[in-house]
Amino acid sequence: MAGHSKWANIKHRKASQDKKRGKQFAKLIRAIESAAREAGTSDPEMSPSLGLAVQKAKDADVPKDNIERACKRGAGEMEGAAAYETATYEGYAPGGVAVLVDVLTDNRNRTASDVRSAFSRSGGNLAEPGSVSFLFPRRGQVVIDAEGVDEDTLLLTGLDAGMEDLEPEETTFTAWCDPSDVAGLRNTLEEAGYRIVEAGSTMVPASTVPISDKGDASKVLRLLDALDDNDDVQDVYANLDIEPELLATLEQ
């Protein structure tokens, strides 16, 4: 899980930058519209997938009015919604790092070309469907603000609500669970007074690929950055494991 955690931290730092905020909001709004369209309703309580998309937007501090309008556009109650479709691309970055890319697009040909180009420019390549996805089992996660939190007490609280593992980070704890237990675990922790940073499901690499070469590490991060910057890309998963010292050097 170490590789996942390190990349999760990289993504968190990137997402916290002001220049990323608008792009993050746009992706969350797109996910809401898509979920509302599929559910045929603008009411998050009527659709688990729409409810999850709305909650993720709330966790990211997307304005309430923006969320409500996205729900209505997706459900056809307002004009302006596009017809999005989901797709997943699989590939390899330099150093043999496996990369999984989830997209939500209104133009599959454009997105496929953009993703292929990102891999090519960074020295990677796309792979056949199924060649990478098996390396990333889906797990549920609830991320808790660690300030003032006792780890043992948090663990005992979560175990009765489906928590399978608790992973401490610098400023947070990540409670891992089955994806179907995310909502229940989140509710239990919130009722116990814990502040939830975010919750949902994610793809966690079953094993990681250590990257010690600075050149390869730079190329991998450049690829992940390029994919993350694409408006059609919702999530990027990679099984890289970069030592903190090398990562700090690259960030400088």
Q: Tens digits of per-residue pLDDT, 109-120?
A: 999 999 999 999
Q: Which residue has the higher pLDDT, 11 or 57?
A: 57
- 10 inside domain: no
Q: Of the ranges 65-69, 214-218, 221-225, which is most confident? A: 65-69
- 217 inside domain: yes
CATH of the domain at 127: 3.30.70.980
pLDDT value for 21: 72
- Cβ–Cβ under 8 Å, residues 114 and 136: no
- 1 inside domain: no
**pTM for this prediction:** 0.84
* Mean pLDDT value across residues 188-195: 96
pLDDT value for 194: 97
pLDDT value for 19: 52
- 4 inside domain: no
pLDDT value for 115: 97
Domain count, the chain: 3
Please indicate, yes or no, whether residues 68 and 121 belong to a single structural domain of this protein.
Answer: no
Residue 64 domain boundaries: 15-74
pLDDT value for 24: 87
Residue 42 to residue 44: CA distance in whole angstroms: 6
The average confidence (pLDDT) of the chain is: 88
Q: What end-to-end distance do the CA atoms of the chain give, in Å?
A: 25
- 106 inside domain: yes
Q: Which residue has the higher pLDDT, 70 or 1?
A: 70
Cβ contacts of residue 219 below 8 Å, gap of 6+?
Answer: 93, 94, 95, 122, 123, 124
pLDDT value for 246: 81
